[in-house]
């Protein structure tokens, strides 16, 4: 069983999807800890309800980003994770921390990367007149939202859609593709080799694995 560590800042709906898939045996791994930088993150409640250890590390305790990330890395190492899952963790991680977990840290971003890196992705897609939008699971590298894509899910944007409607459509897909990628990793099917993603030994293209 692979040891999974999840970092959250908010509601933790993707954390819940992963917890549910672990509980049902669809993921050959165990969430061994959940860390948040926000004491009021509902993701902590989800973890505690599932009997998972939690920790809070607030940036207000530290004088600089560097000091925070040193402490965060040490805390993460305490859990001895095989995989680190960022599930709405709203901090930009330092290059040293990212390198430390290279090839074993993943993130989900609410856009079809490389489009719309950063924030407010749903509104930006609507404003651009896009007919489709989506979410991308990727390995974390030093470039913000720039790591190689593992898997994407696409959803339509209909005329008259508002941000909440698009966000709900995207989030429903996130809850399917994020546990799937965690499953692949825990089975040893997925790895990062340089800038290339290998799934079952086959290199994936820029958009990751193409699911029908």
Out of 109, 122, 133, 138, which one is annotated catalytic?
109
Q: Can you tell me the distance from the alpha carbon of 112 to that of 91, in angstroms, rounded to the nearest whole number? A: 20
Residue 137 makes CB contacts below 8 A (sequence gap 6+) with 106, 107, 108, 149, 150, 151, 152, 177, 178, 181, 208
Burial 26-63 (b: 16+ CB within 10 A, else e): ebebbbbbbbbbbeebbbbebbeeeebebbebebeeee
**Catalytic site includes residue 109:** yes
Residues designated catalytic: 109
């Amino acid at each position: 069983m692979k040891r999974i560590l999840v970092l959250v800042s908010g509601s933790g709906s993707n954390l819940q999807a992963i917890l549910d898939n672990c509980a049902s045996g669809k993921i050959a791994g165990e969430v061994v800890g959940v860390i948040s930088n926000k004491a009021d993150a509902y993701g902590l409640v989800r973890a505690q309800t599932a009997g998972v250890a939690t920790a809070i590390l607030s940036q207000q305790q530290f004088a600089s980003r560097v000091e925070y990330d040193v402490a965060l890395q040490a805390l993460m190492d305490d859990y001895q994770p095989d995989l680190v899952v960022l599930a709405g963790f709203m901090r930009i991680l330092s290059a040293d921390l990212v390198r430390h977990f290279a090839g074993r840290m993943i993130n989900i971003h609410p856009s079809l990367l490389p489009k719309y890196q950063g924030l407010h992705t749903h509104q930006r897609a609507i404003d651009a007149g896009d007919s489709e939008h989506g979410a991308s699971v990727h390995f974390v590298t030093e470039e913000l939202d720039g790591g190689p894509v593992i898997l994407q899910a696409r959803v339509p944007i209909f005329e008259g859609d508002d941000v909440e409607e698009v966000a709900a459509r995207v989030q429903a897909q996130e809850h399917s593709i994020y546990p799937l990628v965690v499953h692949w990793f825990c089975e040893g099917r997925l790895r990062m080799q340089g800038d290339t993603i290998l799934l079952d030994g086959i290199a994936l293209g820029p958009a990751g694995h193409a699911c029908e």
